[in-house]
Structure 1
C-alpha cells in the first residue's frame, strides 16, 4: 500500500509542482549535450590512441 501511495504522490508532484522547460529549450540543450559528448568522445579517443602509439614505440625500442 505504501509503494502505491508513494508512486501516486510522485506523479502528482511531477504533474502539479514541477516547472517543465519549453520544447525549444529542450531541443537546444539536447543539441548542446550531444555536441559536447561527441567532442569529449573524440578527445578521449585521441588521447587513448596517442598513449597506444607511445607504448608501442617504447616496447619496440626495448625489444631491439
Structure 2
C-alpha cells in the first residue's frame, strides 16, 4: 500500500510542478489544426472510396455481361 501512495504522490507532484501545460490560446490553435487535418484526411479517404467504388463497379460490369 505504501508503494501505491508513493506512486500517486510522485505522479501528482510531477503533474503539478514539472509538466508545462499549454495556454488557452495554444490549446485552441492546436485544436483548430487537428480539426483541419482531420477534415482534409477524411475528404481524401472519401474520395479514394468513391473512386475505388466506381472502378470496381466498372470492372464488375465488364464481367457481368
Q: Same fold (TM over 0.5)?
A: yes
Displacement of 1:5 in angstroms is: 2.7
SS of the aligned residue for 2:15 comes to helix
Write out per-residue CA displacement over residues 2-32 of structure 1, whole angstroms, 9 at most, x where no aligned residue.
2343223112101111111111011011001
The answer to whether residue 19 in structure 2 is matched with residue 18 in structure 1 is yes
TM-score calculated relative to the size of structure 2: 0.87
Unpaired runs of 5+ residues, structure 2, are none
How many residues end up aligned between the 2 structures?
Answer: 64
TM-score, normalised relative to structure 1: 0.88
Name the Cα RMSD after superposition.
1.1
Runs of 4+ residues over 2 Å off in structure 1: 2-5
2:57 — aligned with what? 56
Give the secondary structure class of the aligned counterpart of 1:7.
helix
